[in-house]
């Protein structure tokens, strides 16, 4: 998007990873009117982005849009990672460029709207490395506790989940066999469902976290290229 040249003290700080001081120096440059305002705003936004302060990054990228209209893509990427996905979709509305479509697809993934995301990526002829058929992993976890973890490659956690559920079911069977119905009534929601539903919830979280790692990697690449940082 923009070719920037490493030429200032602030750039050096940014290159060294001293993000806080880089931001301070860039702001000083803005205040003193030194340098190109659009490039400085992009750099400030990028520094905040690297700090994972996505709301601040989105703010500075939005200011840069006055000079560089394409900065809206950087703003949208920041909003997607900062959990303002609906706002990102509003910014991208009506834009038919490949970059806008990619970002819309990422926003839909982050929102859990996988069918919408798939339709967008199909129009690009691109398939991001995320898992399909999430229902299979969830259903497997309900049918056999721990199996969902195994299917997504979390073997140790899957075996532990299976063992914990096996013990909890054994405890419920023991209480039932002894006729301790009141104890069983207390046991089921406190112990049994904790392990059973907890295992399913962890599979859901792992699937979402794995998807968000893909979203973050693609967003990082787009923002780095868009700012012109190498």
**140 belongs to a structural domain:** yes
**93 belongs to a structural domain:** no
State the pLDDT at residue 5: 44
Domain boundary among the residues 17, 35, 64 is at 64
Burial 127-144 (b: 16+ CB within 10 A, else e): ebebeeebeebbebbeee
**75 belongs to a structural domain:** no
**78 belongs to a structural domain:** no
Q: What is the pLDDT of residues 152-173, one digit of tens each?
A: 999 999 999 999 889 888 988 8
Q: What value does the CA radius of gyration of the chain take, rounded to a whole number of Å?
A: 24
Burial class (CB in 10 A: 0-12, 13-18, 19+), 101: middle
Q: What is the pLDDT of residues 104-136, one digit of tens each?
A: 999 999 998 988 998 999 998 888 888 777 889
Among candidate residues 120, 151, 119, 145, the one with its CA nearest the CA of residue 133: 151
On whether the CB atoms of residues 85 and 59 are closer than 8 A, the answer is no
CA gap 17, 42 in Å, rounded? 16
**Domains in the chain, number:** 2
| Domain of residue 52, residue span | 1-64
**92 belongs to a structural domain:** no
**114 belongs to a structural domain:** no
**165 belongs to a structural domain:** yes
Q: For the chain, what percent of residues have pLDDT higher than 70?
A: 95
**34 belongs to a structural domain:** yes
């Amino acid at each position: 998007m923009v070719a920037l040249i490493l030429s200032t003290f602030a750039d050096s700080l940014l290159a060294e990873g001293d993000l806080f001081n880089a931001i301070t120096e860039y702001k000083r440059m803005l205040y003193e009117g030194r340098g190109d305002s659009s490039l400085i705003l992009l750099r400030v936004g990028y520094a905040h982005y690297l700090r994972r302060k996505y709301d601040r990054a989105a703010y500075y990228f939005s200011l840069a849009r006055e000079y560089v209209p394409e900065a809206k893509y950087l703003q949208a990427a920041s909003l997607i990672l900062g959990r303002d996905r609906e706002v990102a979709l509003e910014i991208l509305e009506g834009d038919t460029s490949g970059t806008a479509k990619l970002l819309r697809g990422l926003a839909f993934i982050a929102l859990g709207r996988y069918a919408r995301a798939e339709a967008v990526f199909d129009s690009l002829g691109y398939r991001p490395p995320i898992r399909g058929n999430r229902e299979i992993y969830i259903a497997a976890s309900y049918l056999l506790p721990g199996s969902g973890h195994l299917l997504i490659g979390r073997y140790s956690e899957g075996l532990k989940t299976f063992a914990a559920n096996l013990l909890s079911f054994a405890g419920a069977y023991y209480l039932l066999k002894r006729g301790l119905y009141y104890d069983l009534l207390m046991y089921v929601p406190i112990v049994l469902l904790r392990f059973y539903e907890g295992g399913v919830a962890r599979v859901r979280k792992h699937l979402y976290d794995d998807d968000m790692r893909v979203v973050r990697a693609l967003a990082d690449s787009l923002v780095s290229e868009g700012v012109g940082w190498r």
